[in-house]
Structure 1
């Protein structure tokens, strides 16, 4: 019985897609279909119902899936532990992350990751759309969202802390807001994503519910960096999580934090940066070590939550330590 055919069958069963399985194994979809068909012929049983919309297990397929899944996982773990016990991790790992977080932080961490593990191949996909890691074959998915029961194995990297900010030029021309309600009279630069224009929320105590602010201004955009550039140019006030801001923007006085005695947010629900993986992927030493590397590089609390003069130094120290450990 061909083990690769069984692996293809298991992945098709999990994803419901020959195409997703082909992407995961980097082979043509026709090869996956051919291997699975040969497995069905060898067993003398139809394992999958196939139609133009979806692929699902037959009754025989469900029984076979449950019987062979753990056996194949144990076999792969044993082989991986023996082959790579004394070696650095290598091969392909697929990471998915939101666009802005990925550009500003995850890409830099991946650079350090590949310095430590030069034989590692990383496929980094940046998108703000919520993907299904199983369907897309992602080993590690980083999300910015409320906590969800997704059926995935997850770890919270950190909660989001938001900062309201404006340039000195804007404050000189329009004055400094003294209360959150004052923002309704100011020119606010608003993020507009897939769910529409973002509302701003505030509260004075963590135990209180958030109050809503329907702010408005001269610019809306689905790109955080475009809004930050406009804010630095004096066009208005911005609200973003700490990880969006460049540390130099505050160190060099391009932007000034505002209303720091209040807690701000872009959602009334608590939002977190989470790292998620399908349960079977976390059985891989490679995926576990890459996940641990990313968590270590970000730190607890995340390095970007250290504002002011030390923020840039913290990032440099964290990445230097991570890369330095790999060189020792």
Structure 2
């Protein structure tokens, strides 16, 4: 093996191809040609002397040797990055790029502003913000941290509970003027509901009354959507009633475009969590952003911060 041909650049390219499973995707991500990615992988395999990847027309997968080499590369690259962070730390400067994934509507309306404030404080740190409601593979997509609403099952990630997102039942005054104002949970079943098609159980509403009793109410309607901003637009347009996160509609409630219904009843809140890729948790800039988000998340309307 010619060790001089085992460069950090080739190792990084190999790691990203192993995680993405696509040469073209990595080429786009790195801003280089696919032929360059192919050449770097070939040169790395020639230097090591074993095949690291198995290529088919549809996907690239790791060989047994490649799996072992990938695990070692992750450790090497993490040490290189941490060494750079520590060296820069002697000058008090944090730099580099953090990749963040966030629930789409929350990211557009609120998290992006927090990131702006973070970058004002740390001008040498770049942030790549990916907005999606899909539960993406953070490692495969090269994400450092993710903000997610709802219960989580990925035990391989480090998890920080940020708090609970309160929800309210809302509708536009125009809709209520034409269809009437429901005064009890039972009356909701005869109203036009705006439902989230990507949320399990959206055909039922769970409401807790002032007596502490929970009630399940059938909830239906002609309009379903898979994006929070779309539901917000439908509510503002008077298309029906919907349970909405307070942060999604707080401004519309404040200016009278929406009104809260059945205020003496409460909807279950939804947990808001921060997922951290374990291998990235020790990076200084990642720690800085995590601490910043934990400290400022309470500024988002309707988010009740987790107790320390």
- Give the TM bin, normalised by the shorter chain: 0.7 to 0.9
Flag the 1:143–1:179 CA change in 2: closer, same or farther, 3 A.
same
CA deviation vs aligned residue, 1:24-63 (integer Å, no higher than 9, x gap) = 5443333233222212111222222222233233233233
Conserved 8 A contact 2:196-2:231? no
Conserved 8 A contact 1:202-1:262? no
Find the partner of 1:259 among 253, 258, 262. Answer: 262
Instruction: Say whether residues 1:182 and 2:178 are aligned partners.
Output: no
Flag the 1:232–1:64 CA change in 2: closer, same or farther, 3 A.
closer
Q: Which moved more, 1:100-109 or 1:164-173?
A: 164-173
CA distance in 2, matches of 1:15, 1:241: 33
Flag the 1:260–1:33 CA change in 2: closer, same or farther, 3 A.
same
Flag the 1:229–1:42 CA change in 2: closer, same or farther, 3 A.
closer
Flag the 1:57–1:203 CA change in 2: closer, same or farther, 3 A.
same
Conserved 8 A contact 1:46-1:61? yes
Instruction: Say whether residues 1:193 and 2:197 are aligned partners.
Output: yes
CA distance in 1, matches of 2:239, 2:189: 15
Instruction: Say whether residues 1:55 and 2:60 are aligned partners.
Output: yes
Q: Which moved more, 1:252-261 or 1:218-227?
A: 218-227
What SS does the corresponding residue of 2:143 show, helix, strand or coil? coil
Find the partner of 2:217 among 213, 219, 222. Answer: 213
Flag the 1:114–1:69 CA change in 2: closer, same or farther, 3 A.
closer
Instruction: Say whether residues 1:305 and 2:308 are aligned partners.
Output: no
The residue number in structure 2 matching 1:112 is 117
Conserved 8 A contact 1:144-1:272? yes
User: What stretches of structure 1 move > 6 A for 4+ residues in a row?
Assistant: none
CA deviation vs aligned residue, 1:140-166 (integer Å, no higher than 9, x gap) = 222223221252223222223210123
What SS does the corresponding residue of 1:72 show, helix, strand or coil? helix
CA distance in 1, matches of 2:228, 2:45: 51
Residues 41-190 of structure 1 mapped to structure 2, 5 A cutoff? 41-149=46-154, 151-168=156-173, 170-171=175-176, 174-188=179-193, 190=194
Find the partner of 2:250 among 246, 250, 254. Answer: 246
Flag the 1:221–1:3 CA change in 2: closer, same or farther, 3 A.
closer
What SS does the corresponding residue of 1:8 show, helix, strand or coil? helix
Conserved 8 A contact 2:170-2:260? yes
Conserved 8 A contact 2:16-2:142? no
Q: How many residues align?
A: 298
Q: How far 1:105 sits from its partner (Å)?
A: 0.6
What SS does the corresponding residue of 1:163 show, helix, strand or coil? strand
Gaps of 5+ in 2: none
Conserved 8 A contact 1:144-1:274? yes
Conserved 8 A contact 1:21-1:137? no
CA distance in 2, matches of 1:54, 1:233: 44
TM-score (structure 2 length as normaliser): 0.80
Flag the 1:151–1:9 CA change in 2: closer, same or farther, 3 A.
same
What SS does the corresponding residue of 1:260 show, helix, strand or coil? coil
